[in-house]
Every structure is written in C-alpha cells, then in structure tokens.
Amino acid sequence: MRLRNKPWAVKLVDEHPESVLQNPNPEVKIDWAARFGNDHPIRIEVGSGKGGFITTLARNNPDINFVALELQTTAAGIILRTKLEEGLDNLQILRGDAADIDCFFDANTTDTIYLNFSDPWPKSRHEKRRLTYKSFLEKYKTVLKEDGHIEFKTDNAGLYSYSVQSMNNFGMHFDFVSVDLHHEKPEIVEKNVETEYEQKFAAKGNPIYALHADFR
Ligand SMILES: C[S@@+](CC[C@H](N)C(=O)[O-])C[C@H]1O[C@@H](n2cnc3c(N)ncnc32)[C@H](O)[C@@H]1O
C-alpha cells in the first residue's frame, strides 16, 4: 500500500531524528537502549502503516518498548505525529526495509514480532517480497529470542494460506490459528488490538485470519 506523499509528514520526520531513524546504515549497530533511555523489553511491528496498532500497544504498555519498522516516510510521519501528541516515549520509528531487520536489531532482541496486513504480493514472481517468505523468516528467527514468536494477521486468504505453508516448511510451530479472529471467544476478541486495515476490511464483512507461530 502506497500512501500519498504528505510534505508535512516528511518535514516532521526530518525534524525528529531522536524519534525516527531514517534508513540507517545496516552496517552500523543501533543502540536501542540509548534511544529509549532504558533497557525495557522491545517488541517490533513490521509494516506499521499509519500506526494505529503500535501506538495503542505503546499507550497501553508503558513498560514495554515498541519499534514501528516502516518503509514509507509519510507513514512514519503519521505515526510520529501520534507519538509526539501523546508523549509515547516507549515508541521509536524505524524508517527502513524489513529485509534488513537482522542488521537493525541484535540476535535475540525481542519476544514478539507483529506482521499486520502485510502487502500480499499475489503474483508468483513477487513471492520473495512477501514478508513471510523464507528469507524473512530466517531473519525474524535471528532477531527473536528463543521463546519469542510472530503474531500475524491478514484479511487476505491467499497470503494467509501461503504464510502457513511457508512457516510450516520452515519448521515453525503454531500455537494459535484462526480463520475468523473477530468471532473467536470473547477473551480472544477483547485482547485483539485492531489495525487500520483490519477495521476497514472487517467493516466490509471480511473474515480476519490470524496466527501465532514460533521457531521452537
Ligand atoms: C497494507 S499496509 C498495512 C498497514 C498496517 N499494518 C495496517 O494493518 O493497517 C502494509 C504496510 O507495510 C509497509 N511495508 C511493506 N513492505 C515493507 C518492508 N519490506 N519493510 C517495512 N515496511 C514495509 C508498507 O509501507 C505499508 O505501510
């Protein structure tokens, strides 16, 4: 999904290097504890879009640090605006490519990586761009702690089925799967934090597919 370029967002991002790391050199190690000013646990969302999900998590969990990894500057600027308005000191924005996630974070950094409504790239020739392609799984495995896991949601049946196969082929273990997340038991539905895409597709009546998977 390509957002229309918003000059204010680009300017805001440029003005706040303390909150947004822009396209960092993958060769240079990022000191996340220094950026957050503490060594609280870190959770990462890959492809945060406008950031409704990650800003809600940051607001509700002040003792956990969150990183929104996002390719687009306009999206980064929209997330940043919320962060600044609400003073979410436990949220950092990383404007970069998930293909470099293993350069941006040390091995065994996080217990959770969130993948929400990733671009489906339906054409076979684009398989390698899907964020659940094996090359990405390999990198997530490095960045995740041994007991860490991936939480994945999508409205796209094709991407869901592809991701289940890709993760299964990779030897991953599933501890939660749902083909209709919004109609699961109330305790599961209540805990779910919806993303912008999720709200849009659920409003159209589309089922939301979800899974949690780990590398144990
Ligand atoms: C379809 S949108 C979903 C946004 C949000 N997660 C939601 O559910 O509302 C996918 C987002 O992933 C970002 N994205 C796609 N490929 C990426 C990559 N390789 N690295 C980082 N972000 C990526 C896009 O820029 C876009 O903002």
Helix (H, G, I), strand (E, B) or coil at 188: helix
Amino acid at 57: L
Taking residue 214's Cβ as centre, other Cβ atoms within 10 Å add up to: 18
Is ligand 1 within 6 A of the CB of residue 195?
yes
At 3, the pLDDT band (50, 70, 90 cuts) reads: confident
Determine if residue 49 is left, alpha or beta; phi over 0 gives left, psi from -120 to 50 gives alpha, anything else beta. Answer: left
Confidence label for 29 from pLDDT (cuts 50, 70 and 90): confident
Known catalytic residue: 180? no
- Tell me, using a 6 A CB cutoff, whether residue 127 lines ligand 1: no
- Whether 116 is in the pocket of ligand 1, judged by its Cβ within 6 Å, is yes
Q: Distance from the CA of 115 to the center of ligand 1, in angstroms?
A: 9
pTM of the model: 0.98
Q: Tell me the per-residue pLDDT of 165-199, one tens digit each, with 9 for 90 and over.
A: 999 999 999 999 999 999 999 999 999 999 999 99
198 to 47, 137, 178: CA distances (angstroms) = 14, 23, 14
Q: Each residue of 51-110: pLDDT tens digit?
A: 999 999 999 999 999 999 999 999 999 999 999 999 999 999 999 999 999 999 999 999
Q: What is the CA radius of gyration of the chain?
A: 17
Q: What pLDDT is attached to residue 194? A: 98
Instruction: Locate the ligand 1 atom nearest the alpha carbon of residue 72 and give its number.
Output: 25
pLDDT in tens, 133-170: 999 999 999 999 999 999 999 999 999 999 999 999 99
Q: Which position among 119, 155, 175, 214 bears the catalytic label?
A: 119
Q: How many angstroms is it from 190 CA to the middle of ligand 1?
A: 24
pLDDT number for residue 26: 87
Answer whether 155 contacts ligand 1 (Cβ < 6 A). no
Tokens found for residue 109: 């950094």
pLDDT at 208 (0 to 100): 98
CB neighbour burial string for 156-193, b if at least 16 within 10 angstroms, e if fewer: beebbebbbebbeebebeeeeebeebeebeeeeeeebe
Q: Which amino acid is at 204?
A: K
For 150, the enclosing helix (H) or strand (E) is strand 144-154
- Following CA atoms 164, 165, 170, 172 in sequence, which dihedral angle do they give, to the nearest 10 degrees? 30
Tell me the pLDDT tens digit for each residue of 114-133.
999 999 999 999 999 999 99
* H or E segment to which residue 147 belongs: strand 144-154
